[in-house]
Amino acid sequence: MADQKHRILMVSDFFYPNFGGVENHIYYLSQCLLKLGHMVVVMTHAYGNRSGVRYMTGGLKVYYIPWRPFLMQNTLPTFYGTLPVIRTILIREKISLVHGHQAFSTLCHEALMHARTMGYKVVFTDHSLYGFADVGSIHMNKVLQFTLADVSQAICVSHTSKENTVLRSGLPPEKVFVIPNAVDTAMFRPAQERPVGNEIIIVVISRLVYRKGADLLVEVIPEVCRLYPHVRFIVGGDGPKRVRLEEMREKHSLQDRVEMLGAVPHARVQSVLVSGHIFLNSSLTEAFCIAILEAASCGLLTVSTRVGGVPEVLPDDMIVLAEPDPGDMVQAIKKAIYLLPKIDPQVMHDRMKKLYNWHDVARRTEIVYERALKCPSQNFLERLARYLSCGAWAGKLFCLVMIIDFLLLRLVQVLQPAEDIEEVPEFTFPSHQDGEEMNPIDSENSR
């Protein structure tokens, strides 16, 4: 573990009060880095009336900048509109390294661009998989190529994700590290007693969208209910595909066997999981899937589609994999029901404690930070040469974007000199103890 302590700015459009894989990753990683002695600040956009500066558990400081989400929790791309506020935060908080999360986050891309223009070292973590053929993926891959052309180091959450990111961005593989997600095993524990009776309960907790395989569920659930009269489903989550699931339930008269919970607050996820025996994940694409870890930590046997980085997540005896095909998924559920008597939830939980630990993730991330900070600094012309290599037309466009950013930075420095920005005073919060739950509770007041 590195002895030198750093001041890190985490940036993403996705953070608390939203809950998801990226949000949890940033929160738990930040908490563990704080415990290791680093100073961590998070920057995200405003959520409803949550704007300004908030303090969360362990003294984690969050800047909710006054930008409103535009599409799917992302802010409207402005390229340069965020430059003044990002510069102010970097100087005010005496940041030494910027860590951006998620390829789909507008705020992440803009922060990394401005930070590199200001001479900061940056690290990027990719949490998703994207294709290469559809229009959306092609544009997203070009944006990623632009951002990663000048990134110091990159992190992916699985080996499949690393391969995908390297192919999409053209980043040298030696610059990309694989650090998996983890799970808070203190929060996700098995129930004291398993659900009794002959009934087998299959739990689904997911955003009900196309990418998460909600359309597969519409075909799989009726068939499983037909084959196994003693099986019941609990479906937690919300999204545009929820209507299809409601229609399926009505069509097959499964109101008493398919319980729709709607959106489930993260604090209630554990209580929903422990009410079941099998966890079902039907994703069509997944870089890692933290939900599988949470279910396994609660002692549930997992049935999942064999996509992306999912096969890397759990040992073979803790998961049953299937192709993203309704027939194959039904057969996987059949196999899981057969294996269920052999599953000991407490043994599974104890294994998860050893396999996945946020403190281990933080220590491995520290190594990446050290590598990034040791990267040689480059002058502006050397950086432009890297952007120019991104393509005949794209390279010239990227260079133009960076030249404008450089000139705007000089203008902002004249209008607001660095010495006029007040630096924050040093203040240390009492840290929480090891093993204590790190729930994302923030202070009542914003400043």
pLDDT, tens digit, for every residue of 24-66? Answer: 999 999 999 999 999 999 999 999 889 999 999 888 999 999 9
Is the CB of residue 6 less than 8 Å from the CB of residue 369? yes
Average pLDDT over residues 275-280: 96
* Average pLDDT value for the chain: 90
Q: What is the DSSP string of 37-56?
A: T-EEEEEEE-BTTB-EEEEE
Is the CB of residue 228 less than 8 Å from the CB of residue 337? yes
Give, in order, the Cα–Cα distances in Å from 39 to each of 4, 60, 326, 351, 440. 11, 8, 48, 31, 17
Model confidence pLDDT, tens digit, residues 169-218: 888 999 999 999 999 999 999 988 776 778 999 999 998 999 899 999 99
pLDDT at 305 over 90: yes
Is the CB of residue 92 less than 8 Å from the CB of residue 424? yes
pLDDT at 115 over 50: yes
Structure tokens given for 70: 């535009």
Average pLDDT over residues 387-412: 92
d(CA 8, CA 115): 12
Of 213, 235, 338, the residue nearest 279 (C-alpha) = 235
212 CB burial (10 A radius; 0-12, 13-18, 19+): buried
Instruction: Count CB atoms within 10 A of the CB of residue 196.
Output: 6
Query: Which among 45-59, 121-135, 222-236 has the top mean pLDDT?
Result: 222-236
Q: Given the structure tokens 């294994």, which residue do they identify?
A: 351
d(CA 130, CA 56): 32
Note the pLDDT of residue 345: 94
Of 136, 106, 117, 127, the residue nearest 45 (C-alpha) = 106
Q: Which of the four pLDDT bands, split at 50, 70 and 90, describes residue 430?
A: low
Model confidence pLDDT, tens digit, residues 357-389: 999 999 999 999 999 999 988 888 989 998 988
Q: Give 250 or 4, the one with higher predicted confidence.
A: 250
Lowest mean pLDDT among 134-148, 301-315, 338-352, 367-381: 134-148
Structure tokens given for 95: 């940041």
Note the pLDDT of residue 197: 74
Is the CB of residue 45 less than 8 Å from the CB of residue 107? yes
Model confidence pLDDT, tens digit, residues 151-175: 999 999 999 999 999 988 888 999 9
pLDDT at 1 over 50: no
For the chain, how long is the longest CA-to-CA vector? 73
Cis peptide before 17 (omega within 30 of 0): yes
Distance of alpha carbon 327 from its chain centroid, rounded? 30
Q: What is the DSSP string of 282-303?
A: --SS-S--HHHHHHHHTTPEEE
Instruction: Count CB atoms within 10 A of the CB of residue 4.
Output: 11
Which residues sit opposite 233 in a β-bridge?
202, 258
Q: Which of the four pLDDT bands, split at 50, 70 and 90, describes residue 321?
A: very high
Model confidence pLDDT, tens digit, residues 233-257: 999 999 999 999 999 999 999 999 9
Is the CB of residue 154 less than 8 Å from the CB of residue 183? no
pLDDT at 74 over 90: no
Note the pLDDT of residue 433: 53
Distance of alpha carbon 166 from its chain centroid, rounded? 19
pLDDT at 436 over 60: no
d(CA 223, CA 23): 34
Note the pLDDT of residue 446: 43
Is the CB of residue 106 less than 8 Å from the CB of residue 76? yes
